[in-house]
Every structure is written in C-alpha cells, then in structure tokens.
Amino acid sequence: MERNPLFFMLRKHFFMMIFLFFLIPATPTLALEDHHNVLPKLLEGERILKERSFVKNETPTVYLTFDDGPSKLTPQVLDILKTENVKATFFVLGQLAESKKDLVKRINDEGHSIGNHTYSHKYNKLYTSFSTYWQEIQKTEDILEEIIGYSPSIVRTPGGTYKNWDPFYFFYMDQADYLIYDWNIDSGDSKRVGVPSNEIIQNVKKAKLNNKLILLMHDGNGHEYTVKALPEIIHYFKGKGYQFSILTEKVEPIVHPNIATRWERENEFEKRSMFVRTAREIEFVKNTEKITRIQQKNFDDLLSAENTRLLVSAETTWEKVKPKSIKYQISMLIDKITQVVFSFPMLFNYNE
C-alpha cells in the first residue's frame, strides 16, 4: 500500500499534540446564580457566604491572636512564645508592616500565622465606604506579599465586624476568598489605656471555655501590660489541657452576630466588579505542611447555583478559566484534531 502523506504529517505532530493536550487543561464549567437574586437578600440583611469545609478540632484548642502590630513590643511577644513553644496569629497593619519588615519576616520565619488588619485602622475611612476598605486590604496584601512572599487570606477587621460590617462587606470579602475572624474571648487589653496585667489575666480566666477559643490581644504600642500578662495566660490554658495553634483558612471562622451596622454608607453593589483580587499564588506554611491554592478572580463567576459555591478546582488559575483565553482555544483545537485522527483508522494502515 502506498504511504499516505497525510499520515506522516499527522504522525510527526501527533505526540506533540498529545503533550500539549495534557499540558493545557480543559476549561472547567462554572455554575452561576443571577446577581439580581442576591441583591434583595443582602438588602434584607442576609449574609450570603460560600460553602466551605474546615478541619474540626479534635482536642480543646486556643488560638492566641495579636492585633495592631508590629511594634517595639512584638519582639518581646515573640520571645515569650518561643520560650513557651507556642504558636500564635498576628493580624498586622499594612503601614506598620511596611516600616518594620524585619519583624514581619521574623513572625513568619518562627512559624506563626500572619493576617491582614487593613492598612490604616481608621474606622471613619474603612466603614463609610467599602471601596476604601477594599483598597486598604489590597495595599496591605501587596506589602505582605513583598515581605514574606505570599498573601494571607485571613483577615480581622479593626474593632471586629460587630456593628461595623453589613452583609455587603461579608459578601464582597467572601467572594474574593477572604476569611474573616472575630473572637470569642476578649482579653480586654484595649478597653482603655493602660489596662493592668492582673485585669487582663482575670478577663481571660473568667471567660467561658469551650473546645475552640480565639483570644483577642494586642501587640501594638501601649500594650506593655499585655506582654506582662502573656506568660500567665499561656500557663493557664496549658493547665486546662488546651493545645495552641495558628489560624489558617482551614480553621472555621468565628464571627460576631449579624447586627445592623452603625455606619452610613452608599450601596456599592454596582461596583462589585472592582472587588477582585489580582491573580497570585497564595501559600500557607503550617509546620511542615505547605498548602498552595490559586485565588479565583472573576467576580461575575463567583456566584454559583449551589449556595454560591464556586465549582472550580482550587488549583485552577483565572487564566485557565477565561472562556476566550488562547490556551482554551488551543486546547479545543487539539481536541478536534485528535478526534479527526482517530475517526480515520485507515490513515494508520500503512507499510514501512
């Protein structure tokens, strides 16, 4: 039989096509929910959040958290934690992280968790406009990525969500895959200036204990008494049989009750397309476990029919889910060519 020129052409490029086909994954399908169904719910005060899975605490666990740093007190806190062999979570301010990069690096290098606490901490800016709030979160995220090489997705808002946030804040942040952490024990170290150590300790000891505790403390300037109280607080929880751990996206958030906000602000739902994160790889290091995920960035694809759950693999980049991306077009073209090849078996009937 004569050799078919078309066969040799296809055979020459066949393996390259197969390689590219598996190299370029097919575009996943996104399930969407009409945004018009979401807006009325938000206006009625309903929180709309994605379904997520979290790791359950098998043993009583306390999460020590420190807000408003880093400051000159942060090294003392880190020294105590190192001595006690305890890990904690630091929600840092962007403007302080920017000027104290070495401290941020030390927090990260010593195995503690780092969260976003906005850039300025100024309530009148943060809670009168979500656009401003979003800009501060992004600015701090960029600063942290430059310092430690990744962008944390855990956030604590200044003053907590209680009476500061509304369902829109929760919705926008949740759709961008930020996790918000309030607390269920308040050390009371920021109720006024100079709260003494013994009062801070008593506030902690009189709090109701349960299997999962997130303790609010501060390592910003003016909280010297918190540093003094810290060793006894750690010993107290050790004596109660608690383990210490850090907050990551695997830990289910504790958030305050859904109460009407005290702030007046405009409805920015029409601006929602602005509230998307820059595509970047987010890395979390917990002990020897490295968790890598890619943030989904297109806000319009973040609403799904199943309780607004995004039906896309966590390892799929936004570039891979663009319906009209070049990779997608190449993938589809190779798929069609491959189908043509296998639909003509006579092409492979040849004699060398």
Single out the catalytic residue among 67, 68, 174, 189: 67
User: Is 218 labeled as catalytic in the residue annotation?
Assistant: yes
pLDDT tops 80 at residue 72: yes
Q: What pLDDT, on a 0 to 100 scale, did the predictor assign at position 13?
A: 53
Give the containing element (helix H, strand E) for 114. Answer: strand 113-116
Mean pLDDT score, 214-237: 98
Residues near 176 by Cβ (< 8 Å), separated by ≥ 6?
275, 276, 277, 295, 299, 302
Q: What pLDDT, on a 0 to 100 scale, did the predictor assign at position 280?
A: 56
CATH code matching the domain that covers 37-255+275-301, chosen among 2.40.50.100, 3.40.50.2300, 3.40.50.300, 3.20.20.370: 3.20.20.370
Q: Determine contact, residues 248/154, Cβ cutoff 8 Å.
A: yes
pLDDT tops 50 at residue 349: no
Distance CA 21, CA 15 (A): 10
Average pLDDT over the chain, rounded to whole?
80
Q: What pLDDT, on a 0 to 100 scale, did the predictor assign at position 91?
A: 98
Q: What pLDDT, on a 0 to 100 scale, did the predictor assign at position 278?
A: 73
Q: Determine contact, residues 39/267, Cβ cutoff 8 Å.
A: no
- Going by pLDDT thresholds of 50, 70 and 90, the confidence category of residue 138 is very high
Q: Break the chain into its structural domains and give their ranges.
A: 5-27+322-348, 37-255+275-301
pLDDT one-digit tens code per residue, 239-297: 999 999 999 999 999 999 999 999 999 999 999 989 998 755 444 333 333 333 323 33
Single out the catalytic residue among 174, 218, 219, 223: 218
Q: What is the DSSP secondary structure assignment for residue 120, as one 8-state letter?
A: S
Alpha helices in the chain (DSSP H): 5-23, 35-43, 74-84, 94-99, 101-109, 123-126, 130-148, 167-175, 197-205, 224-239, 318-321, 326-342
pLDDT one-digit tens code per residue, 172-203: 999 999 999 999 999 999 999 999 999 999 99
pLDDT tops 70 at residue 352: no
Look at residues 54, 165, 68 and name the one whose alpha carbon lies nearest to residue 116: 68
Q: What pLDDT, on a 0 to 100 scale, did the predictor assign at position 107?
A: 98
Q: What pLDDT, on a 0 to 100 scale, did the predictor assign at position 35?
A: 63
Mean pLDDT score, 135-141: 97
Cis peptide upstream of residue 25 (ω within 30 degrees of 0): no
**HSE-CB of 224 using CA atoms within 13 angstroms:** 3
pLDDT one-digit tens code per residue, 96-126: 999 999 999 999 999 999 999 999 999 999 9
Give the containing element (helix H, strand E) for 293. Answer: strand 289-294
Q: Would you call 119 helix, strand, or coil by DSSP? A: coil
Distance CA 264, CA 283 (A): 36
pLDDT one-digit tens code per residue, 285-342: 333 333 333 233 333 333 333 333 332 333 333 333 333 345 445 555 655 565 555 4
